[in-house]
Amino acid sequence: MSAAGADKATARAPFPWDEAMAFGFGRLRLSSRSFWSMTPRELAAAMRLHAANSFTPLERSSLETLMGLFPDGEI
């Protein structure tokens, strides 16, 4: 491998500013001052917390099982 090839292999992707700002301003509802005062580690910790609290939707079969166990009754 040439030196130029090695540089390409170790090159890092640019920081995803658009995604970071969308998360900070949109999801966390931070002010500009608060967002730009955060360290990258603080932002990463907030992102991990939100990812841990996210959920995946039920699959159809799981929903049908729950509907069978807990049917809607007549009111």
- The three-point CA angle 22-24-27 to 5° equals 75
Q: Is residue 4 part of a domain?
A: no
Q: Is residue 73 part of a domain?
A: no
- Burial-class residue 24 by CB neighbours within 10 Å (0-12, 13-18, 19+): buried
Two tokens, residue 9: 């292999």
User: Would you state the pLDDT for residue 75?
Assistant: 57
The pTM of the full predicted model, rounded to 2 decimals, is 0.53
Q: Is residue 39 part of a domain?
A: yes
Q: Is residue 43 part of a domain?
A: yes
Q: Is residue 9 part of a domain?
A: no
pLDDT at 47 > cutoff 80: yes
Distance CA 50, CA 43 (A): 11
Count of domains for the chain:
1
Q: Is residue 8 part of a domain?
A: no
The residue with greater pLDDT, 52 or 15, is 15
Q: Is residue 3 part of a domain?
A: no
Q: Is residue 24 a contact partner of residue 38, using CB atoms and an 8 Å limit?
A: yes
- Which has the closest alpha carbon to 41: 49, 53, 33? 49
What is the domain extent for residue 30?
18-53
pLDDT at 53 > cutoff 90: no
Q: Is residue 74 part of a domain?
A: no
